[in-house]
């Protein structure tokens, strides 16, 4: 791999005072990307925010098929009522699908044409393992356990390369230390790879832990000696600190009436909005939220899942409101590793399933429509006789968003082995 990228990755690991071995694990595929596989001409100012619902969210109670009679037979105790059931019914979208009532804060996004749900979407892998399914979704290579870099990092690596003889202005313009940020304790698999990224619990933690006498001495050390790549990398590290200080995150006030939940997820989305509006060069942001593995006492219109969805919806609605007109250049994409069984279990919950649902939200999104082919919930229509069947490969959604939002062209490199991705696009962006 490129020596400068190696040193920069190491330096950015030091800036948060946490050393992750992830930047040392580089696949041969990732190295090839850095050697000039092609160019991805991303539009300037565009931002993609990826939100991972870890634990397998129940698609059928999130985007409710209230027009499907079998749905109510399969879930006599936890189904969401039809829209006419006051206070307990689904929020109707198109006469067949509706949102869980706890997702009410997202309904205005549908009305404005910003929200596009995709149903019966997920991985073609048959695994029911959380770990494997999350890994496949983040690497973009279902059933391939040998892939160590994430598809978003492959995008970032390709964006920084250039065909022979071309100018490097675009690559340099994108060379911000905050180009790719994960609001997580450790670098998520989706961002692991040869391109430098930042992972942090919070902006305040990044600022506090990257200041003080120890860091001042480290900065002085980097400024002495020859103009070696080590010192260049150190300069970039301290430049990141200065950029964040200038953004003054501790004094940030949300705008447009946005009210973020006090939850960790809500506060992480608040800080993503801070970075976008501070113009630090953020192109890719990532956050995740757990608690979706509802084997027991899942609940229906109220209960465990409803509480999780309430926080999820209010956090996203606040982010959209806070960004205001910047949503014209921002796309939010949610994802979950797989769905849950169509039939409720004996514990008032659901077990590991197959296809799921996700949301794409943004100014460039053709919202106000539920995308994906609905497979039905009759016994003969279920996957393995128990799960919502898959009709849309998650790579079709991810590749369309990457191409149309970020300007990606080397989709064969982002999702190796996925044949004819453009032919599978849904047209939601």
The model's pTM = 0.85
Written as tens digits, the pLDDT of the chain (429 aa) is 454 544 444 444 444 433 333 333 333 344 444 443 333 333 348 999 999 999 999 999 999 999 999 999 999 999 999 999 988 999 999 999 999 999 999 999 999 999 999 999 999 999 999 999 999 999 999 999 999 899 999 999 997 544 333 333 334 335 688 999 999 999 999 999 999 999 999 888 776 555 555 555 545 555 555 444 444 444 555 666 677 777 677 788 999 999 999 999 999 999 999 999 999 999 999 999 999 999 999 999 999 999 999 999 999 999 999 999 999 999 999 999 999 999 999 999 999 999 999 999 999 999 999 999 999 999 999 999 999 999 999 999 999 999 999 999 999 999 999 988 899 999 999
- What was the pLDDT predicted at 205? 76
CB 98 within 8 A of CB 83: yes
- What was the pLDDT predicted at 251? 81
According to CATH, the topology of domain 3-424 is: Alkaline Phosphatase, subunit A (3.40.720)
Q: Where are the domains of the chain?
A: 3-424
**Phi, psi angle pair for 399, to nearest 5°:** -70, -35
């Amino acid at each position: 791999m490129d020596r400068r990228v190696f040193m920069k990755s190491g330096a950015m690991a030091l800036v948060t005072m946490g050393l992750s071995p992830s930047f040392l694990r580089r696949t041969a595929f990732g190295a090839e990307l850095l050697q000039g596989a092609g160019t991805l001409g991303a539009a300037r100012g565009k931002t993609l925010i990826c939100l991972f619902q870890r634990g397998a969210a129940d698609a059928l109670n999130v985007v409710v098929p209230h027009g499907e009679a079998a749905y109510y037979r399969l879930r006599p105790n936890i189904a969401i009522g039809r829209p006419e059931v006051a206070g307990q019914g689904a929020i109707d979208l198109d006469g067949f699908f509706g949102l869980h009532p706890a997702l009410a804060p997202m309904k205005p996004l549908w009305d404005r044409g910003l929200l596009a749900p995709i149903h019966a979407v997920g991985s073609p892998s048959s695994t029911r393992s959380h770990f494997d399914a999350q890994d496949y979704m983040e690497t973009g290579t279902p059933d391939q356990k040998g892939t160590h870099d994430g598809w978003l990092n492959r995008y970032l690596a390709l964006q920084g390369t250039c065909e022979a003889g071309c100018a490097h202005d675009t690559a340099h313009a994108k060379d911000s230390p905050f180009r790719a940020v994960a609001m997580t304790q450790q670098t998520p698999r989706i961002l692991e790879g040869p391109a430098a990224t930042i992972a942090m619990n919070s902006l305040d933690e990044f600022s506090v832990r990257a200041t003080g006498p120890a860091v001042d001495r480290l900065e002085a050390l980097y400024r002495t000696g020859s103009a070696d790549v080590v010192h260049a990398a150190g300069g970039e590290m301290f430049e990141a600190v200065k950029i964040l200080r200038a953004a003054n995150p501790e004094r940030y006030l949300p705008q447009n009436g946005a009210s973020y939940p006090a939850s960790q997820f809500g506060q992480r989305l608040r800080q993503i909005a801070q970075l976008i509006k501070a113009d630090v060069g953020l192109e890719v942001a990532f956050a995740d939220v757990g608690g979706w593995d509802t084997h027991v006492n899942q609940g229906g219109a109220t209960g465990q899942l409803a509480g999780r969805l309430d926080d999820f919806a209010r956090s996203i609605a606040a982010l959209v409101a806070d960004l205001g007109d910047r949503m014209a250049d921002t796309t939010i994409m949610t994802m979950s590793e797989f769905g849950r069984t169509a039939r409720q279990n004996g514990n008032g919950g659901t077990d590991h399933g197959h296809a799921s649902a996700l949301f794409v939200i943004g100014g460039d999104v053709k919202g106000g429509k539920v995308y994906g082919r609905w497979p039905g919930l009759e016994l003969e229509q279920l996957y393995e006789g128990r799960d919502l069947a898959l009709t849309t490969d998650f790579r079709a959604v991810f590749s369309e968003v990457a191409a149309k939002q970020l300007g990606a062209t080397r989709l064969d490199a982002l999702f190796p082995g996925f044949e004819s991705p453009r032919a599978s696009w849904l047209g939601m962006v």
